[in-house]
Amino acid sequence: MTQWILPTAFILAGLLAGIVGEKVIFKKLKLFVVRKQIPGSEIIFQSLHRMTFIWFVVAGFFWAILSSPLKPDIAIALQKFITIILMSSVTLVLARLTAGFVTLFIRRTEGVSTSLISNLAKATVLIMGTLILLQTLGIEITPIITTLGIGGLAVGLALQDTLANFFSGFYLIISKQVRTGDYVKLDGGHEGYVTDITWRNTTIKEISNNVIIVPNSKFATSTFTNYHLPAKEISLTINVGVSYDSDLELVERVTVEVAKEVMQEIALELIANEPYMRFHTFNDFSIDFTLYMRVNEYFDQRIAKHLLIKKLLKRYQQEGIQIPFPVSEVYFPKNGQKNSATKLN
């Protein structure tokens, strides 16, 4: 029994060091780094979560095996098992770090989806770590890679739709035809903001807060309108008609002033692009014109129209500018005469 005292002590020391390292040292170090606001610190600590305890325990068991009176073949088998745990944990940490920093980097690039690329980077690290682990354990990986290559053909045939969605997602990201945050309208009538492009689907969030899930392959081959390309800013056009009695110079001045007021409320940074209007039609009851003004993005045109109509009607009433009602002439027989006419408003 005395031969097992030292191995037991190593195991207990590893457990105690793991608990102290995880509960005390790790937490204090985390608080220190957070106060200093070191870039990427949150990703590092999330990746190392629980790993400090595992590594100390693994170290304790490793020294316990070396100091134990076990038979050589059993000791070697246990050492290999310890090696598997250690390398697996290191691979997992590296995969978490890679995915986290890739996500952090991509978020700084406006409109690029994070989930597809970060998950691919994480999967690549996990695969590489597994191959290195097998090589370390003395397992030949060349036959495994060959088998995977042959099996990949069969899997590719069986998962054609999945692979089509996967590569379509990459195509959408690389081509930059659509980016996360873009406002798009599908040919089926659905519209909303693109929130993410995963390995299989593109997620679109409607204004009503509903979520539309579109397979990447269908989205890449469909006809859609991207209201954020080539730029988010769009020109809002509003058609208005005024009576023939109106002073057109006054109408133009008042309308542009009101449009500027609206832009100062919702698109102050675009005020350099002054709104303007153009008369274009002598209509049956009115002289029609179109007002052009810039707004920050597609969705802002709703509030812009709302404010403009309220302010414009109020200002027209103050200036005595009339927006005429449609007028029709209907003829009725009167006293046997067919040429009489009554005007209805």
Q: Which two tokens stand for residue 19?
A: 């608990």
CA of 2: how far to CAs of 69, 70, 168, in Å? Answer: 10, 14, 65
Using a cut of 0.85, tell me whether the model's pTM lies above it. Answer: no
- Which DSSP string corresponds to 50-115? THHHHHHHHHHHHHHHHHS---HHHHHHHHHHHHHHHHHHHHHHHHHHHHHHHHHHHHTSTT--SH
Q: Band of the pLDDT at 340, cuts 50, 70, 90?
A: very low
Least confident of 44-53, 115-124, 144-153: 144-153
Mean pLDDT of the residues in the chain: 79
Q: What is the pLDDT of residue 278?
A: 94
For 214, other C-beta atoms within 10 Å of its C-beta total 21
Query: How far apart (Å, rounded) are the C-alpha atoms in residues 146 and 142?
Result: 6
The CA angle 272-274-276, to the nearest 5 degrees, is 165
Contacting residues for 303 by C-beta, under 8 A, at least 6 apart? 266
Strand partners, 214: 202
Query: How far apart (Å, rounded) are the C-alpha atoms in residues 156 and 268?
Result: 53
Residue 121 reports pLDDT greater than 90: no
Q: Could you tell me which residue, 179 or 40, shows the higher pLDDT? A: 179
The most confident of the ranges 136-140, 266-270, 332-336 is 266-270
pLDDT tens profile 263-303 = 888 888 887 888 999 999 998 889 999 999 988 888 788 89
pLDDT tens profile 181-220 = 888 888 878 888 888 888 788 889 888 888 888 888 888 8
Q: What is the pLDDT of residue 248?
A: 93
